[in-house]
Amino acid sequence: MSVQETLIPKLGVVTDVRIDTPDVKTFRVNALDGGKVFDHMPGQCAMLSIPGVGEAMFSITSSPTNTEFMEFSIKKCGCLTNWLHQMEEGQQITIRGPYGNGFPVETEFKGKDMVFVAGGIGLAPLRSVINYVRDNRQNYGTVDIVYGSRSMEDLVDYKEIIDVWCKEEGINVYLTIDREQEGWDGHVGFVPNYVKELGFDTNKTVIICGPPIMIKFTLAGLIELGFDKTQVYTTMELKMKCGVGKCGRCNIGAKYVCKDGPVFRCDQLDEMPNEY
Amino acid sequence: MQEAMIKRAKELLTDGTVNRVLGWQKGGVAYDATPAVFDSAEALEQGFVYDDFTAANLSKYLVKETKNEGKVLVFLKPCDTYSLNQLTKEHRVNRDNVYVIGVGCDGKADVEKLRAQGMDGILGITAEGDNFVVETLYGNKTVAKADVLAERCVVCKSRKLMTYDEILGEDGEVIDSNRFDMVEQLENMTSDQRYAFWQNELSRCIRCNACRNVCPACTCEKCVFDNVNSGVANTAAADSFEEKLFHVIRAFHVAGRCTDCGECSRVCPQGIPLHLLNRKFIKDINELYGEYQAGEDTDSRGPLTNFTYDDCEPSIVHERGVE
Amino acid sequence: MKQIKLDSIQSLFKALSATRTLYLPVDTPAGADFKKYEDGVLWSGALNPNRSAKDFFFPQTENMVDFKVEGKTIEIIEPTRPDEDFVVFGVRACDARSFELLDKVFLCDPVDTYYQNRREHGVIVTVCCNKPAETCFCTNFGIDPTAPGGDVACWQDDDTLYLQANTKAGEALLNSVADVLAEADDSAADSVKETVKAIMAKLPIQNLDLSAFTEDNLLNLFGSEQWKKLSEACLGCGTCTFVCPTCQCYDIKDFDTGHGIKRFRCWDSCMYSEFTRCAHGNPRLSQVERFRQRFMHKLVYFPANNNGDFSCVGCGRCLAKCPISMNIVKVIKALGGANK
């Protein structure tokens, strides 16, 4: 592989647009001749761009086990994402990747009981792992999913969660929203507190993704429960331009999030400066 | 002068008039002082320096400093006091939080001019009367101060302090300087010659933004060239046209507010005479709207933000465009 | 070793530029700059040009790819890559060393082919410094200006330039201009080297204590109280970054030319407020953090990823050019010894 192939993007085409929440849409992307633009591992990212508007890194939310297409769940929060949200089926975009290390699904996660903790759009990178684990069920133990957001409407992938994950044997889904809401009879409260309430078995492996403050408090709660930082993984996001550790802007200390991350084990974060 | 400044600063710190001092921290070589805040007598004694090379205009730091607790003492040269007045007028600096000691000034030296005179490997510079004795790796040399004055000091417009709470040294007079000579030379060129001149100068720009960041007139909270939503934000120009526009737009933006302190040209790592753009505006304003010197006071209306019946008509643009 | 009399050096430049483009430092009213050689252009005697020689391989702006956008469709147009063979003459040891450091970034997997392409087309001719400046501190990083490296190394005395090939490309270059060169004894440049070494011994910035800048000490240094004071007067401009021969951070931008979209990369500076700003915020909100990043990168992060090599070659440009005279030497002196 060379940068020539990665800095110069490939073309993809949007083949489906799903409205998830008021500010999140999930885009299905195919190569122009069908199929996927490239293969990836769970937790890896791709650079999407509309020429003239901008280019940015997004986690690939579909599982590698999906051989037909890639999906990206994107929250509207800036110039490029506003543009992306206006896309219709048939719109071409440029795409390059995959970037980053991904989750150690074939090594450290193998045979482990898994707990996934996500907040808001933080489900996007975890969905890839969750579906990868579901599709390779024999390789992993129990699966617990704790997912929360501000309100019912802000739960990304609600349909898949209810229709697929909740119905699957060996998967426990715990949903929560920040405040009481009409039509919601599930749990109410913040994710970190909910995780503590649920009090998971301390030999499980935990993956957290969400707003930095949620990650921070969830991690603190897990430590209180008796978890070791070596059992907890998270995935980071910083401004990126090249995706291959050369443009110099996504570093945390000596590590580049685009290349050495975005997935870090929480004990590794302790050795890095607190600048993220 | 340095000793008198330290002494007075210590007194003002001790009697509680101010709680910190904005000045210059001694560097490693003779000419590399760094603007710094001193908060104790010990710090002043250890590091405060004032000499022929402490050229930085400290007034812009007051934008940040006057937001902090307590009063700050600042040493300003005459040209810096114009900047402070202008910043006060624009409500960028809270004058009540500043104690200004105006320092008489007879010009600062430019180390690049020393180098241009063949003084390589400068190890030390000692002022002796009207001369500098320069110790270099290649022997000692003597040079007249007058021959290594910074350009802005050669054509100094005023040695008069515009605002101060007290004065150290001698206050001077406004000078009838020849600072517009080079502008006139440019005006006398044909448009092709002038274009070639600026093409050559601005092509060297590396868009380091030093001119903008040091400029006391550039105090926008967020510069349009940094604002990704502006559509013109750029870390480098995409083409040579854009590159020139950066400087032209900046010159327009500070027109009528630029005091001609000359910091832009002092800091340019590429030696581009950026002050000439601003001086052209100043000269034009003088000719079209009447004599005006930004920073002379804190309450007059700026020539470009004020309407009078004597203002020139828009047709002036066409008339002046005819060669 | 070869030689040529300085009074006939134009014949060397003519010969070098006959088959390829020759760039060399040329005096301008605002200091020296690398310029293309044409008949009559004189080689500058200046120690170093304002801008480093990194421009030749990592230009300030560089076109990466073009796009044509029509309705919902996009066409990707790969740019033609420059294929001009060129020689850069008059590079000093510090800048020559910077290419090795840039190579570590751009030529490690995945290779940056834009940079690689330019590297493959360029031949470097270095010249030993005759008059080191007080801002020089290359020796602190193990650089020997009397062995300036590059494809061909040169030494200059009062009337003669001595040339020695270091690489195959250098040998080929010297062979191609053999007509204008004379043979010289291998020890011909020794007295020049001795003279320069004697000057180097007198430089004011020597024996900087770099021992504290280790990966083990990363968090200590990062948390140092001193960054606040050191960065206090920093203007947040990009001067140090852009004159630095080893700074290589870049931005990627799109530009609408009116005929399509040009995607280019350009130098960027970690000193800029927008460098790390993204949709969810900015991890470096104040100049203290940006300032710290630049020096931590050069003195700790880069070495941690590159076998302990510091990302500084001691060329002294930042010392001469920083508007507020804050620089890496002052940072090293403040943090080097104290935090061990």
Mutation to test the A interface, candidates C57, C68, C112, most A Cβ within 10 Å: C112
pLDDT tens digits for range C187-243 = 999 999 999 999 999 999 999 999 999 999 999 999 999 999 999 999 999 999 999
Chain C CA closest to residue B116 = C31
Alpha-carbon distance of A46 to A124, in angstroms, equals 13
User: Is pLDDT larger for residue C98 or for residue B226?
Assistant: C98
> Is residue B129 in a domain?
yes
Confidence grade of residue A188 (pLDDT, cut at 50, 70, 90): very high
Alpha-carbon distance of A27 to A74, in angstroms, equals 8
> Is residue B266 in a domain?
yes
Q: Do C223 and C80 form a contact (C-beta atoms < 8 A)?
A: no
DSSP one-letter string for C263-290: EEEEE--TTSTTTT-BTTB-S--SHHHH
Domain spans of chain C? Answer: 2-200, 215-335
| Share of residues in chain B with pLDDT > 70 (%) | 97
Alpha-carbon distance of B233 to B4, in angstroms, equals 46
Check if A188 contacts C (Cβ < 8 Å): no
Which pLDDT score, from 0 to 100, does residue C64 have? Answer: 92
Check if A213 contacts C (Cβ < 8 Å): no
ipTM of model: 0.93
> Is residue B153 in a domain?
no
- The distance of B312 to chain C (nearest Cα, Å) reads 37
pLDDT tops 60 at residue C340: no
How many structural domains are present in chain B? 3
Alpha-carbon distance of A216 to A234, in angstroms, equals 10
Which pLDDT score, from 0 to 100, does residue A135 have? Answer: 94
Confidence grade of residue B242 (pLDDT, cut at 50, 70, 90): low
What average pLDDT is seen over chain B?
92
Is residue B215 domain-shared with residue B74, that is, in the same domain? no
Write down the residue that tokens 């020597």 correspond to: C206
Alpha-carbon distance of B101 to B86, in angstroms, equals 17
Confidence grade of residue B235 (pLDDT, cut at 50, 70, 90): confident
Is residue B68 domain-shared with residue B38, that is, in the same domain? yes
Which two three-digit tokens encode residue B107?
């010009």
Confidence grade of residue C338 (pLDDT, cut at 50, 70, 90): very low
Other Cβ atoms closer than 10 A to B251: 19
CB nearest to C76's CB, from A88, A94, A246: A94
Is residue B37 domain-shared with residue B87, that is, in the same domain? yes
Alpha-carbon distance of B248 to B270, in angstroms, equals 17
Interface contact C251-B236, CB threshold 8 A = yes
CB nearest to B206's CB, from C47, C60, C205: C60
Chain B CA closest to residue C328 = B28
Interface of C with A in 37-56 (CB under 8 A): none
Confidence grade of residue C256 (pLDDT, cut at 50, 70, 90): confident
Strand partners for A205: A114
Range of the domain at B163: 1-108+158-174
- Relative to beta strand A24-31, strand A263-265 is unpaired
| Cut 0.90: pTM above it | yes
Alpha-carbon distance of A4 to C76, in angstroms, equals 13
Which pLDDT score, from 0 to 100, does residue A2 have? Answer: 46
Which pLDDT score, from 0 to 100, does residue C339 have? Answer: 41
* Interval B199-204 mean pLDDT: 89
CB-neighbour burial class of residue C186 (10 A; exposed 0-12, middle 13-18, buried 19+): exposed
Check if A131 contacts C (Cβ < 8 Å): no
Is residue B169 domain-shared with residue B124, that is, in the same domain? no
Is residue B182 domain-shared with residue B168, that is, in the same domain? no
- The distance of C262 to chain B (nearest Cα, Å) reads 9
Confidence grade of residue A6 (pLDDT, cut at 50, 70, 90): confident
| Share of residues in chain B with pLDDT > 90 (%) | 78
Which pLDDT score, from 0 to 100, does residue B239 have? Answer: 67
- Any alpha helices (H) in A41-140, and if so which ranges? 79-85, 123-135
Alpha-carbon distance of C92 to C26, in angstroms, equals 14
What average pLDDT is seen over chain A?
92
Give the amino acid at A161.
Answer: I
Interface of C with B in 262-281 (CB under 8 A): 262, 264, 266-269, 272-274, 277
- The distance of C179 to chain B (nearest Cα, Å) reads 35
Which pLDDT score, from 0 to 100, does residue C78 have? Answer: 87
- Over the Cα atoms of chain A, what is R_g? 18
Confidence grade of residue A158 (pLDDT, cut at 50, 70, 90): confident
Confidence grade of residue C2 (pLDDT, cut at 50, 70, 90): very high
Is residue B103 domain-shared with residue B136, that is, in the same domain? no
Mutation to test the C interface, candidates B24, B34, B110, most C Cβ within 10 Å: B34
Name the residue among A210, A234, A94, A193 with its Cα closest to residue A154. Answer: A210
Which pLDDT score, from 0 to 100, does residue C282 have? Answer: 87
pLDDT tens digits for range B274-295 = 999 999 999 999 999 999 999 9
Interface of A with C in 32-51 (CB under 8 A): 51
Q: Whats the size of chain A, residue-wise?
A: 276
Which two three-digit tokens encode residue C306?
């590159």
Which two three-digit tokens encode residue B120?
């390589």
Counted across chains B and C, CB pairs separated by less than 8 A come out at: 135
pLDDT tops 50 at residue C145: yes
Is residue B95 domain-shared with residue B126, that is, in the same domain? no
User: Which residues of B lie inside 8 Å of C (Cβ-Cβ)?
Assistant: 27-29, 31-37, 56, 61, 112, 120-123, 136-138, 204, 206-210, 212-214, 226, 228, 233-239, 266-267, 269-272
Tell me the C-alpha to C-alpha distance, in Å, between residue A86 and each of A73, B1, C260.
14, 66, 21
> Which domains can be identified in chain A, with CATH numbers?
3-99 (2.40.30.10), 114-270 (3.40.50.80)
Chain C CA closest to residue A248 = C249
pLDDT tens digits for range C160-198 = 999 999 999 999 999 999 999 999 999 999 999 999 999
User: Is pLDDT larger for residue A266 or for residue A5?
Assistant: A266
Residue A97 Rama label (left phi>0; alpha psi -120 to 50; beta):
left
| Share of residues in chain A with pLDDT > 90 (%) | 85
Which pLDDT score, from 0 to 100, does residue C277 have? Answer: 87
Is residue B48 domain-shared with residue B119, that is, in the same domain? no
Which pLDDT score, from 0 to 100, does residue C150 have? Answer: 96
Dmax (CA) for chain B in angstroms is 63
Is residue B189 domain-shared with residue B311, that is, in the same domain? yes
Name the residue among A215, A216, A242, A206 with its Cα closest to residue A7. Answer: A242
Interface of C with B in 156-215 (CB under 8 A): 199, 202-205
| Share of residues in chain A with pLDDT > 70 (%) | 98
Name the residue among C57, C59, C265 with its Cα closest to residue A242. Answer: C265
Q: Do B238 and C262 form a contact (C-beta atoms < 8 A)?
A: yes
Is residue B64 domain-shared with residue B131, that is, in the same domain? no
Is residue B214 domain-shared with residue B143, that is, in the same domain? no
Is residue B100 domain-shared with residue B117, that is, in the same domain? no
pLDDT tens digits for range A8-48 = 999 999 999 999 999 999 999 999 999 999 999 999 999 99
Confidence grade of residue B241 (pLDDT, cut at 50, 70, 90): low
Alpha-carbon distance of C12 to C4, in angstroms, equals 8
Counted across chains A and C, CB pairs separated by less than 8 A come out at: 129
Interface of C with A in 207-246 (CB under 8 A): 215, 218-219, 222-223
| Share of residues in chain C with pLDDT > 90 (%) | 88
